[in-house]
Structure 1
Amino acid sequence: MKAALWGLLHMAALVSFPVAIGFGVQAVVDGSGGRLALAGGLIAGLTALTALGDTMLHRAAITNWITAAARVQQLLARKAVELGSTLTRRVAAGEVVAVSTGDVEKIGWFVEALSRFTAAAITTVGVCVALIIYQPALGMVVALGVPALALAVFPLLPRATRRADEQREKAGRATELASDTVAGLRVLRGIGGEELFLDRYRRASQEVRTAAVRSARMWALIAAVQVALPGLLMIGVVWYGATLAREGQISVGELVTVYSAVTFLLFPLRNFEEIAMAYSFSRPSARRAARVLGLRRSSYGAEGSGAGTAADGPDGEKFGGDLYDPASGMLAPAGQLTAVVCGDPDLAGRLADRLGGHAPDDDEDNKGKAGGGAAEAEPGRTPSALLGGVRLDEVPLAAARRAVLVQDKDPVLLSGTLAELLDVPRSGAVTVTEALEAAQCGDVLDALAQASVDGSGAADPLHARITERGRSLSGGQRQRLALARSLVTDPEVLVLDEPTSAVDSHTEARIAQGLRQLRTGRTTVVFTSSPLLLDRADRVVFVRDGKAAAAGLHRELLGTEYAYRAVVTREPDEPAEPAEADLDTDHDANGHGAKGHDATGPRAAGRIGKIGESA
């Protein structure tokens, strides 16, 4: 509103110049010095008002632009925090970057242009009405011609919008390709694939350039129309006005006034073209931003519903118990270390997200009704995981995240000191030293201390700085620091997705021992296929085709579940029915057979329960 008022002052002062100019011309024709001086003073006053209005309009409009863009970015940041790692699984990373950068700028541009367009529209209507009253004959020509000029570009806008959308989509794909290439540059160099990805980016970049040129051509045509049509209107007004002046129907001053008014009207008309461009660009941008902001952490269930549960009680008391996923039938008993083996990494990632209270709408692997006596899912919806019988999508997000922490397969390390990295909300039961020792970060601390430029890391490794995303560290070192960050929070339930995939076997064995000791009495779920971790687990759940196929101890499943053994030992999958001779074969943690043991006999089979029975 403030910008529109300042814009109205600016436009009104600007289009009032023709009155002062016509008054001065007529004073010269009549030879009146006093009226000429009055016209000069009027022009000086209008100049001051125009400068003041333009300055304040620019300030208010730019403030609106920045405020609108910043608020949308804040909403996007809150949505990213709410969804966590599931955001990039439901929306491409390049799309998120494009929305949070280019799209918010276009939305802010429309907000900024709207105030100036409002002032220009009011001023244009006012001038047309004033011209009709002042000089009906010429005023009617102007009043009919100006709306035609303003509406002339509308037939061209749909095609211009489509071309702008095409350019935006291609730019988003190029951005996503570039980010993926930069993230995997080390691997690409190792296998000699950087040239392949560089060629792909070149082609994507050329497609963006071609689309941008096609879009620019259309907008150039619109700009040409906005120049040509006002010129034709100006020629018509001058010709008709000169005819009326020769016939003595209007004075020279009146002709100059009308001509000047039409000339100054061309300035407000430029705002019509700008608002059309801003609307065409910002509408799809707003639609994309709304699509991201419309994502929910769960597929159904209102936020904050489920009143009466312990999680959202008035005192904020904690809740806990067994962690159960109705969609797959996976059960993690409270206080135990449960390992989950899943042959499909993507499916494992979606299952980990559900255990953290996120149930993506596009999860096609698990649909339909929930089993095991749990709450039923709506048709076509993914059921939420339950913690102690409480659906995680029915409790407030903060309560769900205090209860369950999910560490993604590729955790991100922010730049800063190690102390800042580990300065996260935590219970206080686990110290930083204990977490670092359990995650086997001793050599990581030494590497950070040696790489410290200012020497602060040598005295205290916690003051050593970590580069952005930990790029100066190896993959295994980054993984262990991320694990230490998760352990120090000491959540009621900790879900780890492949936490040791980048470390060697000796370190992995020590991490498995440290994890088991530090998380004693706490519920821990580890998605892994490492025999070293599986052998330390209290319970192993084998998930196949989106469903929990079997549960038991690692050594037992090696002898009875051939599909499980194929995933863990990387052997070819064997027939579902075991051979008679295999029933007398025991396996150690690494999958090596040994005769003379009864681990796979009838007594062992009795200890193995299907997940449906366990649930």
Structure 2
Amino acid sequence: MQIHQLPYADPGDPDVRSGTRFLLWLGRNQLGGQVKSLLWGLLLYLGIAGLPLGVGLAVQAVIDRSGGGLARAGVLSALLGAAIAIGDTMQHRTAVTNWITAAARVQQLLARKTAELGSLLTRRVAAGEVVAVSTGDVEKIGWFVEVLSRFAAAATTLVLVCAGLVIYQPALGAVVAIGVPVLALAALPLLPRATRRADEQREKAGRATELASDTVAGLRVLRGIGGEELFLGRYREASQQVRRAAVRSARMWALIAAIQVLLPGLLLVVVVLYGAKLALDGRITVGELVTVYGAVTLTHHPLRTFEEVAMAYSFSRPSAKRAARVLSLTRTATTVAGTHQRPGGDLYDPVTGLLAPAGLFTAVVCGDPDAAGKLADRLGGHPAEEADGQASVLLGGVALDELPLEAARTAVLVQDKDPVLLSGTLHELLDVPSSGKVSAAQALAAAQCGDVLDALAQASVDTGGDPMRTRITERGRSLSGGQRQRLALARSLVTDPEVLVLDEPTSAVDSHTEARVAAGIQRLRTGRTTVVLASSPLLLDLADRVVLVHEGEAVAVGTHRELLAADERYRAVVTRETEEEALVDSEESA
């Protein structure tokens, strides 16, 4: 895979059983790039390791006053220099390609998972963690995947150099063959502690990122309650914890780096002293001593790769663990490929017993807002993780989690109680996949967005007062909560899905607007299946049927007025009547 061929047609099915397995899976899926980088790395490192041989031959030729030997040494050095130049250039090229393509693969996997889970993603994983995985973590993962091939080339080069020196000059070569493995493994006892400190740093940095993300998202609310300084203090403390953890981690890596410098220096001293003695005794030539000395000096370059791969693994493992945790999430307990296309019919939840007949406006009353949110997710084919093993919601007798994702999304649309508006113009906001039967004007009218259009027209600077061309700020922060809610409702109505599930679609508007919005939904969705989770009498009174869900089970069905008169539990939820008030009413009626 080359950079110009990105994105991947299919990023693959990752191994997310652990962070380490995910890293190995990435490496295997870039085997071709890894082999290329390995071969170019061998050319580079062997060229560097071979330079002392050319220098040693040249020195010996000068001592022997051999012009032919000096010429041969010059040709060898020139060839080695060319090999180093080509190997360095191409290894860097292939290494960067491996880094970028690995990061791109992870980003595509995350984007695919985000599209699959939708708003359910941030209910299972903190938004700050998703941001951290999508930005800094993918870079660290790509770094480890990239360094693997360079590490393999460095290790292979050291083995070949040691073997070559033993053959070239057995006495000194044996010293080098014993010393180099010791140098390569010297920092190994320190790696667990360095890894723990790196993990601690990454954990604290992730918490700080989550805190910053949550603070920015809730800045408007914080300003309203005067909580900016409180959260600023929390973030300042979190930042200081990250700084202290980073310093502790850096100290350990500095110690490892110092060992990587000190021990090769000691080996070099031993080689020079022992080699000088051998040369004085006449057992080796000066050229051989220079060759072995130069080879030991230049092993420092591949040895540093051992430190780099350890550091890359230490920093990328927590990142890979987080990425694997996100990628392991599924929209349902079991996903089975299906061939059904745009199913229709009654919507039925076997867990609660809720039935929403096709073509009717069904209102669902649930006293617990959290339970209502989970029910809305289930109706959209996204059960909570604790619901594993439970039966899937059925649409026309077909399980939603057996449908391809695209077919399930086309059939059922869920708008939760806190919908998100992306930045862009109003026209772009309403330009969504749809049946084409509902126009933007009809949807805006049904959602009672007239005042929103007026506000956008007044805010327009260079669009000639056209509200459809006026930009909406990120997450619609320039609008009130009720305006954002109604625009999101208009977007859902434009989509015109087979089944529309709305969770408290009018919780942020006044009662007069709520009544008009309810009538607009009823009018525009005539003949289409609509499920509204709400407790407002204005909405419930317009529904074709109302279902009361109590303690996770549908316990009563009827019209709003029928249930209000006949079911005390329903009346308590809808009228906010307390148990004491209900007891007084029953005593008075008696």
- Alignment TM-score, normalising by the size of structure 2: 0.90
How far apart in 2 are the matches of 1:8 and 1:478? 59
The one-letter code matched in structure 2 to 1:120 is A
Q: 1:575, CA displacement in angstroms?
A: 8.2
Match of 1:351 in 2: 375
Secondary structure of the structure 2 residue equivalent to 1:382: coil
What CA distance in whole angstroms lies between the structure 2 residues aligned with 1:102 and 1:497? 35
Q: Which moved more, 1:253-262 or 1:55-64?
A: 55-64
1:399 Cα shift?
1.2
Cα–Cα, structure 1 residues 561 and 166, in superposed 2: closer, same or farther, change >3 Å?
A: farther
Q: Secondary structure at the match of 1:426?
A: coil
Matched, 1:393 2:401: yes
1:496-511 counterparts in 2 under 5 A?
496-511=502-517
Partner in structure 2 of residue 517 of structure 1: 523
In the alignment, the residues of structure 2 paired with residue 582 and residue 156 of structure 1 have an alpha-carbon distance, to the nearest angstrom, of 79
Q: Does 1:303 align with 2:327?
A: no
CA distance in structure 2 between the partners assigned to 1:534 and 1:212 by the alignment: 56
Q: Which residue of 2 aligns with 1:417?
A: 425
1:128 shift after superposition: 1.0
Unaligned 5+ runs, structure 2:
1-34
**Within 2, Cα distance between the matches of 1:219 and 1:544?**
58
Q: Is the CA contact 1:167–1:212 (under 8 Å) kept in the aligned structure 2?
A: yes
Where do residues 113-192 of structure 1 align in structure 2 (5 Å cutoff)?
A: 113-192=147-226
Q: Return the offset for 1:484.
A: 0.7
Moved more, 573-582 or 508-517: 573-582
Per-residue Cα deviation, 1:213-248 (whole angstroms, up to 9, x for no partner): 222222222212222221222122122212211211
Counting aligned pairs with the same residue, the percent is 73
Aligned to 1:32: 66
Measured at CA, do residues 509 and 69 of structure 1 come closer, stay the same or move farther in structure 2, by a change above 3 Å? Answer: same
Does residue 429 of structure 1 match 2:437?
yes
In 2, the alpha carbon distance for the partners of 1:430 and 1:503 equals 23
In structure 1, the residue matched to 2:384 is 360
Equivalents in 1 of 2:323, 2:117: separation in Å?
Answer: 15
2:499–2:528 Cα contact (<8 Å) kept: yes
Residue type of the partner of 1:487? L
Deviation of the 1:270 alpha carbon? 0.7
Amino acid aligned to 2:157: T
* CA spacing shift, 1:504–1:112, aligned 2, 3 Å: same
Matches within 5 A, 1:54-133: 54-133=88-167
Is contact 1:342–1:348 with CA below 8 Å preserved after alignment?
A: yes
Measure how far apart 1:116 and its partner are.
1.2
* 1:101 to 1:556, Cα distance in 2 relative to 1, 3 A: same
1:331 equivalent among 316, 332, 355: 355
Match in the other structure for 1:470: 476
Q: In 1, Cα distance between the equivalents of 2:175 and 2:266?
A: 12
Q: Distance in 2 between matches of 1:103 and 1:52?
A: 32
Q: Does residue 1:491 correspond to 2:524, yes or no?
A: no
Offset at residue 511 of structure 1 (A): 0.5
Contact 2:353 2:554 in 1 (8 A): yes
Residue type of the alignment partner of 2:448? Q
Q: Distance in 1 between matches of 2:55 and 2:276?
A: 18
C-alpha deviation, 1:542, in angstroms: 2.5
Measured against aligned partners, the alpha-carbon deviations of 1:310-344 in whole angstroms (never above 9, x if no partner) come to xx24xx3x322221222222222222212222233
The structure 2 residue matched to 1:252, chosen from 283, 286, 304, is 286
Q: Distance in 2 between matches of 1:13 and 1:402?
A: 60
CA contact (8 A) 1:358 1:384 kept: no
Pick which of 345-354 and 266-275 moved more. 345-354
Q: Distance in 1 between matches of 2:295 and 2:321?
A: 39
Contact 2:158-2:299 within 8 A present in 1 as well: yes
Distance (whole Å) between structure 2 residues aligned to residue 516 and residue 523 of structure 1:
10
In the alignment, is residue 534 of structure 1 matched against residue 540 of structure 2?
yes
Q: Is the 8 A contact 1:92 1:176 kept in 2?
A: yes
Task: Indicate the larger mover: 464-473 or 69-78.
Answer: 464-473
Counterpart residue identity of residue 422, structure 2: L
- How far does residue 579 in structure 1 lie from its aligned partner after superposition? 5.6
Distance, in Å, in 2 between the alignment partners of 1:42 and 1:82 is 59
* Residues 583 and 534 of structure 1: CA distance in aligned 2, closer, same or farther (over 3 Å): farther
Greater relative contact order (Cα < 8 A, sep 6+): 2
Q: Determine the structure 2 residue equivalent to 1:402.
A: 410
Describe the shift of the 1:465–1:580 C-alpha distance in structure 2 as closer, same or farther (beyond 3 A): closer
More helix by share: 2
CA contact (8 A) 2:202 2:318 kept: no
CA contact (8 A) 2:361 2:545 kept: yes
State how far apart, in whole Å, the 1-side matches of 2:224 and 2:472 are: 24
1:453 aligns with 2:461: yes
Aligned-pair CA distance for 1:581: 5.5
Alpha carbons of structure 1 residues 346 and 177: separation in structure 2 relative to 1, 3 Å: farther
CA contact (8 A) 1:562 1:573 kept: no
Q: CA deviation at 1:401?
A: 1.0
Whether the aligned pair in 2 keeps the contact of 1:360 and 1:382 (CA below 8 Å) is no
TM-superposed CA distance for 1:582, in Å, is: 6.7
Please give the per-residue CA displacement for 1:164-218, whole angstroms capped at 9, x wherever unaligned.
2222222222211111111111111111122222222222222222222222222
C-alpha change, 1:4 and 1:408, in structure 2 (3 Å) is: same
Q: Indicate if the aligned counterparts of 1:562 and 1:575 stay in contact, CA closer than 8 A.
A: no
Alpha-carbon deviation of 1:455?
2.3
Question: Per-residue deviation at 1:72?
Answer: 0.7
User: Which residues in structure 2 correspond to 1:203-222 (within 5 Å)?
Assistant: 203-222=237-256
Q: Distance in 2 between matches of 1:431 and 1:21?
A: 80
Pairwise CA RMSD: 2.0
Paired AA for residue 242 in structure 2? V
Secondary structure of 2:386 counterpart: coil
Cα distance change on mapping 1:101 and 1:235 into 2, 3 Å: same
Contact 1:359 1:383 in 2 (8 A): no
Separation in 2 of the partners of 1:344 and 1:146? 67
Preserved CA contact (<8 Å) 2:199 2:314: no
| Pair 197,3 (structure 1): closer, same or farther in 2 beyond 3 Å | same
Q: Given the superposition, is the C-alpha separation of residues 474 and 7 from structure 1 closer, same or farther in structure 2, using an over 3 Å criterion?
A: same
1:108 CA drift (Å) = 0.3
* 1:501-538 Cα deviation digits (max 9, x unpaired): 22222211111100000011111111222222122222
What SS does the corresponding residue of 1:502 show, helix, strand or coil? coil
Going from structure 1 to structure 2, the CA distance change for 1:422 and 1:111 (only over 3 Å counts) comes to: same
Distance 2:44 2:283 in 1: 33
In structure 1, the gaps of 5 or more residues are 306-311, 364-379, 585-615
Q: Offset of 1:558 from its aligned partner?
A: 3.3
Amino acid in structure 1 at the alignment position of 2:258: A
2:46 maps to what in 1?
Answer: 12
What letter matches 2:160 in structure 1?
G
Q: Distance in 2 between matches of 1:444 and 1:211?
A: 48
| Corresponding position: 1:193 with 2:199 | no
| TM-score of the two chains, using structure 1 as the length reference | 0.86
Secondary structure of 1:16's partner?
Answer: helix
Using the TM superposition, give the Cα deviation of residue 46 of structure 1 relative to its aligned residue in structure 2, in angstroms. Answer: 2.3
Does structure 2 retain, via aligned residues, the 8 Å contact 1:320–1:492?
yes
Offset from partner CA, 1:241-272 (integer Å, 9 cap, x none):
12211211111110110010011111011111
After the TM superposition, which residues 604-615 of structure 1 pair with which residues of structure 2 at under 5 Å, given as runs? Answer: none
State the alpha-carbon separation in 1 of the partners of residues 499 and 288 from structure 2: 83
2:301 alignment partner, SS class: helix
CA distance in 1, matches of 2:140, 2:386: 29
